[in-house]
Structure 1
Amino acid sequence: MKSKKEKKIHSVQSKQNQSQEKAPSFPSQIQNPIHDLYFPFRILFVFIFFLLFQCQSNGDSKEISYFQNKEKTKADIQSKWETLAPSGIKSLTYMVMMGDGDVYQSQIGVSSDAKIERFKIGSITKIFTGIAILQLQESGKLKLDDPASQYLPELKLMKPKQEGYREITIRDLLTHQSGLPSDLANGFFLSPEAKEDEIYRSFRSLPKSLAGLERNEPGKIHSYSNLSFGLLGNIIERASGESIESYFRVHLFDKAGMKHTTLMENLEGSELITGYSGIFWKSKTVRPVIRDLTAGSISTTANDMGLFMKAFFRSKENKGLLTSVSFDEFHKTQIGPVANFEMKLGLPVMKSSYKADGKTVWFYGHSGSLPPFFADLVYDPNTEIVSFVAGNTLGIQTGKLKSTNTEVMKVLWEEKMGLQPEPSLPPMMGKKGTVPGEEGVYISPMGIHEYKKGNPPTLSLMGFDVGLIEKENRYGIDLRVLFGLIKINDPSINEMRVEFETWEGNSIFTLYSKDLPKGVAGIGVKFTPNNRFPDAQFFGTFVTKEPYAIIPKLRLEKDKRGFPLLTIYYALGGMENTVQVPCQWEGDNTLRILGYGRNLGERLTLGSKEGKPFLQYSGGEYVKD
C-alpha cells in the first residue's frame, strides 16, 4: 500500500535540461472558461458556490510592489495557492515562468511518496491538438482551410439543418464555429478500467457516430465543442498515418522533454493522482476516462508543463514545436462570428486584452476541466511569462482556481515589467446610455433567464434574481441573498456588466466583466413561448442504459410560461448538476432546444419502442422511467 500524507513540496527551480525526476522536499523558506473556454462542462453550481461562500473583500488591500523581486513574488504566489489547498482542494500543483527562462514549480496538499503524480488538465489538451494540426500543415499533409470532409468523409452523412450550408473546414473545428453539436454525450465517458485498445476503438469510432446527426451553420456563432476536437484527433491520425498517442509522444511530448505526460491513462514512472469531490466533506472519485482524447485527456506534471512552454516559445526562433510562421498564426486573432462580439480566439487559445502604461497587452491561455480535475494556463508569448495550475478536487474552492491564476499572472508580469496590467471593459457598440431590454424570457448557455422591468429591473442568472443598476452606460449587478437582506459585495460581482442589444433582429443580452470578455459566456436570446407541446406520454423522466453516462437522465415537462422544459442531468466527478433549457415543438416527433451556443439549438427526437416512450438526444437513447 502506498502511504498518503499531508505535505508541501516547495518551489524548485528547473533549468532547461534539468532531470525530470521528482523534486525532493525542501525546508520552507517561502512562507490566479467558453463554456469550456471558461465553463468547461457547464458546472454552473461551482460558480454559484463561489459567489455565496468566497470571502468578502473589504477594499483595504495594501499595494505591494513586486518589481524585480523574485523571492517575494514566489513567496506570495505560494501563499495564494495555499489558501485553496489542502483545505478546499486536496492537492494542487502549479508552475510559473517569470520571463527569465527558468521554471518554478510546486505541489501542495496530499501527495504520494511512491511515484511522480500526474494531474488531468482537461481542455488545455486542445492547445496541444492545435499545435499538432499546425505541424501537419507545415509538413504539407493538410491545410487549415481544407474541408474537414477531405479527411473525415463521415461528415457527409450529417444532415444540415438547412440546405445551402458551406463545408466545415479544419479551421472551423479549431475555432469552435463548425456548427457541429457541442458534445456527443453518448459514449463520452468510458469505464475507469478501460484498456488502451478499448480507448482507441472508442476514439476511432467517433466519426462513424456522426451518421444521421444534424449540423448547424458553420461560422454563425462560437459554440464550444469537444466533439470538434475529438474529430480533429481523428484527422491527425489519418493525415499523419500514426496513432494519436504515438503522434503526441514523438512530435510534442518527447520534443519538449516531457517524460511524465500522456494522452492515454498509464505511463511508466508516474501515476494519475487520486481525485476528490464534495462540498464540505471530500470523497475519492473514479478515474475519468474519455473517448474524445484530443479534447481533454492529457495528464501531466507542473514541471512538464514548464518544459512544454519553453519548447513552445522556442518556436519563435524556429527551434521549437512550430515554425515562427505557425507560432504567429497560432496566436493571431482568427476571423470569427460577429455574434460573439469581443471574444477573441487563436488556434485555439483564448485571448484577453489588458492595459499597461497606456498600451494593449494580450494574455493567452485555456482552462480545462475533467471533473474532479480542473486546470488553467495563462501566458504572454512576448515576455514569456507563464502561470499554470491544476487541482484534483471538485468543490467550492474549484471556482477560484482561474481567478487566482489570473491574479498570479498579473503579479508575475509586474515583477518583470514594473507595472501590473489592468483589464478594461470593452467599448459600447456605438450606443449612448444604457439600453433596457425587452421584457420576457431569454435562453443562454447558462440556462433560462427572465427579464422584468422595474426599479430596478431584474434578470435571473443561475437561479438568482439580480437587480440591474446603471453603471458606465451599462447595467451592473446588484446581488442580494437571504430575502434581499444581505448584499454580496464582491469585486468579481461588482465588475460584471449586462448589456442589451439587437442581433439579427433578436433582442439579446451579454454578460461580461473586465476579466471575462464580452461573448465568452455566450449570448442570451429572447424567445416567445408558443404553448405547443408533444403528447402527454412524453412528459416525465427518461434514463439511459449507458453505464458511465455523462448524462444519465433527462426530464421533460410543461413550463407554466408556455414551453416544453428539458432538464439535463450531468454526472461529473462524483457529483450531479442540472441545466434547464426551453424547447419548441416542431412536429414530426421533433423538439428543438432554443437558443445559440453550447448544447443549444440541438434536436430531440421522440418515439416509442416496445410500448415505452423514448427520447433520442446527443447520440443516445433515453427510455421513460
Structure 2
Amino acid sequence: MQSKEEKNIPSRNRKEKKSISKTNQTKMESVKAKRKTKSPNLDSIFPMRILFLFFFTFIVHCQTNREKESPSYFQNLETTKSEMISQWEKLAPSGIKSLSYMFIMSDGKIHHGQLGNKSENQVDRFKIGSITKLFTGIAILQLQEAGKLKLDDPITKWIPEINQMKVRKSGYREITIRDLLTHQSGLPSDVANGFFLSPEAKEEEILDSFRNLPKAIIGMERGEPGKIHSYSNLSFGLLGNVIERSSGESIESYFQNHIFKVAGMKHTTLLESLPDSELISGYSGYVWKTQTIRPVIRDLTAGSISTTGEDMGLFMKAFFRSKQNKGLLSLASFDEFHKTQKSPKANFEMKLGLPVLKTSYTADGNQIWFYGHSGSLPPFFADLVYDPKTEIVSFVAGNTLGLQTGNLQTTNHNVMEILWEEKMGKRPEPSPLPTLKSRTVVAGEEGYYVSPMGIHEYKHGNPPTLGLMGFDVGLVERDHRYGIDLRILFGLISIKDPQISEMRVEFETWEGSTIFTLYAKGLPKGTTGIGVKFSPDNHFPNSDYFGIFLTKEKYAIIPKLKLEKDKRGFPLLTIYYHLGGMENSIQVPCQWESKDTLRILGYGRNLGETLLLDRREGKPSLRYSGGIYEKK
C-alpha cells in the first residue's frame, strides 16, 4: 500500500491541502523569505542555467521579502511532513510536469512520493544526472577495499590511452584516480562529440560507445593535474572504464550487484530498460511544455542513472549502514568519501569529498556540514543533500526544463534545513562569509575577464561595474569586499533581495594574474570558478575562418560553433549547446597560438582548451571537443 506521501495529488485531499496552505501561509512565506539560499553544485550546464534563472526571476518579480515570524518544527513529525509536501506542490504540476521526492527525517523512515503526471500501471523512473557520480565514487572505493586498485594509482595503469594524449607542457606529474574523482585531472571537461546517443540506442550500442571513450581521447590535449578545479564528465566516464577493467565485470552488472541490489533498489539502472518500470517522459518550455526525446548518453558513470525517490531512500539507508561496516562501504571508506580532499589553491573555500560537495552551515553557534550533489541531464534535473551524522536526507528529481527548474535545488535545501530543525531543534544557517585580514577593498584592473560564465568587463567608476550574465552590475563596498547593486529600467529601480545582497565579488592576484571570484552564503568561494584577466592582442586567423560551423552529428550536444572577429580585439567563439529540446550558448575569448590553433582563454570548465583550424575539401573547418565542424 502507498502512504499519503506516496500517492499522486488526490482530489479528495484538496480541501485538506487548502486548509494546510491557509493556516501555514505565513510560515511558508517566512521559510521562503528567510531561508532561500543558493547552494553550490558541480553539474555541467546547471550552474549557468541557475545563474540565468536567478537574475531573470528577480527582474520579473521585483519584490521585497518581508521578515516574518519563523515557525518551529522541532520534534513535530506531522507538521513537518505536511510542510515538506507543500514545498514540492508549489513546483508541480504547473511548472514541472512530474516531480519525485524523498526525505528521511528523525523517525528514520523513508518518506517518498510523486507529484504531477504519473503512469497508471508502471513505476516511473527519473534521470538523476550527475548524482550518478556519487555511485561511481562508491564503486571506486569498493574496489580499493577489494585490493583491485588504489586511489593514488596512476590512471594510466587502467587507461593507458592517456599516454597517447598531447601534453600542453612537459614535466607534468602522473594523473591519479583521486584526481579524476575530485575534478582536478587536467583532462578536458568533456568529449562532446558522441556524448548523446540515439534515444532508440540498444544496450550493446550504448556499452560499446561507453567502452570506446578511452580511444576518443587519443591525440587530444591534457593540462596540468592538481592546478585548478574543472568539472569533467569525461573524467567520470573514464572512471567507469576503470571499474570495468579492474573488476572484470560489465559496468551495469557491477552497479547492480554491488550497489543497487545490496541497497534493495529494484527500479534503478545505468542503462535504459528494466522490468516493471520505465523512464518518465521529459518536457521543456518556458510557457508551453513540449515533450522531448529520451536523453541517452555515452558517459554512463558520469550521469546516466535513472531511479525513483523510494530507491534513493534505500540507497541512502544502505550508505549510512557503512558506519557500522554493514553497508555499501566500510567505515574507513565512508569516512574517506566525506573527508575534505586536497584541492587546488584556486578552489579557495570549496570543499570536496570523493566526489561529494561539502557545504558549511552554522547551528546554535556550531559548524555543521551538509553533503550532496546536483544533477542535470536536461530536461531532467535532480538534487540530493544529506547529513551523514544525523542521517537526515532530502532528494528531488523533476522532468521539466523551464522557469521552475532553478527552484528545485533552492527548495530542496529549504526542505533540508527544516528536516534538520525537526531533528535537532535549531535551524541551520549557511556559514557566514569568512573575515578578510585586510580592511581595504581591493579594486580590480580595468579590462576584460573570462570565467566559466563567459566574458566580463570591469570598469572603474562610482560605483565600478562588472558584467555578469549580460548585466552590468554596480559594485559597492560590503564586508571589505564588493557587493552587487543590480538595477533595471535604465538604472532607476534597484533590486533589493537577500540573495543578491549576500553575493560578493573579490579581486586578488593568483599566480601573477588578476582574478575575481564570485561567492555568497552557501556558495563557497571558488565554486563558480575564477574570472581571469586577459588582454586582447588583435591577432586573428584568416578571415575565411569567421562564420558559423555545423557538425553532422545527429544528436550533438554542441551542434554549432560561431567564430567571429570581436571588435574588442580577440577571436570570439560562441559555443551553442542543445539540451532538453532547448538551446543555450556561452561566448568565450580565444587567442591566436599558431597557424592552426586558437587557445580558449581562462581556467575552468571548457576553458583553456584548443580550437583547431582545418580544411576539408578545401573549405574551412574547426575541430573542437572531439568533433569536426564544417563552415555553413
Equivalent residue number for residue 254 of structure 2: 247
Equivalent residue number for residue 258 of structure 1: 265
**After superposition, what is the alpha-carbon deviation per residue over 1:161-217, rounded to whole angstroms, capped at 9, x for unaligned?**
000001100000000000000011000000011010100010000000111000010
Are positions 1:166 and 2:173 aligned together?
yes
Equivalent residue number for residue 522 of structure 2: 515
The 2-side partners of 1:455 and 1:556 are apart by 35
Query: What SS does the corresponding residue of 1:511 show, helix, strand or coil?
Result: strand
Between 56-65 and 283-292, the greater mean CA deviation after superposition: 56-65
How much does 1:52 deviate? 3.1
Given candidates 182, 186, 202, the residue that maps to 1:179 is 186
CA change 1:198–1:47 in 2 (3 A) is farther
Query: What SS does the corresponding residue of 1:111 show, helix, strand or coil?
Result: coil
Q: Write out aligned runs for 1:19-98 (5 A).
A: 28=13, 31=20, 36-37=42-43, 39-40=45-46, 42-43=48-49, 45-53=52-60, 56-98=63-105
Query: What SS does the corresponding residue of 1:112 show, helix, strand or coil?
Result: coil
Equivalent residue number for residue 336 of structure 1: 343
Equivalent residue number for residue 461 of structure 1: 468
Are positions 1:371 and 2:371 aligned together?
no
Given candidates 582, 606, 610, the residue that maps to 1:603 is 610
The 1-side partners of 2:496 and 2:348 are apart by 28
AA aligned to 1:36 is L
How much does 1:486 deviate? 2.7
Q: Write out aligned runs for 1:77-226 (5 A).
A: 77-226=84-233
How much does 1:62 deviate? 2.7
Equivalent residue number for residue 290 of structure 2: 283
Q: In structure 1, list runs of 5 or more residues that go unmatched.
A: 1-7, 13-21
Equivalent residue number for residue 612 of structure 1: 619
The 2-side partners of 1:408 and 1:38 are apart by 24
Q: CA contact under 8 A between 2:164 and 2:219: conserved in structure 1?
A: yes
The 2-side partners of 1:169 and 1:263 are apart by 25
**After superposition, what is the alpha-carbon deviation per residue over 1:89-109, rounded to whole angstroms, capped at 9, x for unaligned?**
111111111133201112111
CA change 1:303–1:161 in 2 (3 A) is same
How much does 1:63 deviate? 1.1
CA change 1:581–1:321 in 2 (3 A) is same
The 2-side partners of 1:25 and 1:349 are apart by 36
**After superposition, what is the alpha-carbon deviation per residue over 1:503-547, rounded to whole angstroms, capped at 9, x for unaligned?**
111111111110111110000001111110000010000000000
AA aligned to 1:402 is Q
CA change 1:357–1:335 in 2 (3 A) is same
AA aligned to 1:611 is G
Equivalent residue number for residue 320 of structure 1: 327
Given candidates 504, 507, 527, the residue that maps to 2:534 is 527
Are positions 1:471 and 2:465 aligned together?
no
The 1-side partners of 2:116 and 2:252 are apart by 30
AA aligned to 1:330 is F
Equivalent residues, number? 609
Q: In structure 2, list runs of 5 or more residues that go unmatched.
A: 21-35
Query: What SS does the corresponding residue of 1:396 show, helix, strand or coil?
Result: coil
Query: What SS does the corresponding residue of 2:141 show, helix, strand or coil?
Result: helix
Aligned-pair identity in percent equals 69
CA change 1:606–1:289 in 2 (3 A) is same
CA change 1:68–1:38 in 2 (3 A) is farther
Equivalent residue number for residue 568 of structure 1: 575
Q: TM-score w.r.t. structure 1 length?
A: 0.95
Q: Write out aligned runs for 1:486-501 (5 A).
A: 486-501=493-508
Name the structure where helix makes up a greater proportion of residues.
2
**After superposition, what is the alpha-carbon deviation per residue over 1:245-292, rounded to whole angstroms, capped at 9, x for unaligned?**
000000000000000001001111001111000011111000000000
AA aligned to 2:575 is I
Equivalent residue number for residue 622 of structure 1: 629
CA change 1:428–1:326 in 2 (3 A) is same
How much does 1:25 deviate? 6.4
**After superposition, what is the alpha-carbon deviation per residue over 1:326-361, rounded to whole angstroms, capped at 9, x for unaligned?**
000000000000111001000000000011111110
**After superposition, what is the alpha-carbon deviation per residue over 1:103-146, rounded to whole angstroms, capped at 9, x for unaligned?**
11121111111211000000000000000000000000000000
CA change 1:226–1:54 in 2 (3 A) is farther
TM-align CA RMSD:
1.7
Between 94-103 and 522-531, the greater mean CA deviation after superposition: 94-103
Q: CA contact under 8 A between 1:603 and 1:617: conserved in structure 2?
A: yes
The 2-side partners of 1:156 and 1:82 are apart by 51
Between 250-259 and 53-62, the greater mean CA deviation after superposition: 53-62
**After superposition, what is the alpha-carbon deviation per residue over 1:548-606, rounded to whole angstroms, capped at 9, x for unaligned?**
00000000001111000000000000000110000000013100000000000000110
**After superposition, what is the alpha-carbon deviation per residue over 1:198-239, rounded to whole angstroms, capped at 9, x for unaligned?**
000100000001110000100000100000000000000000
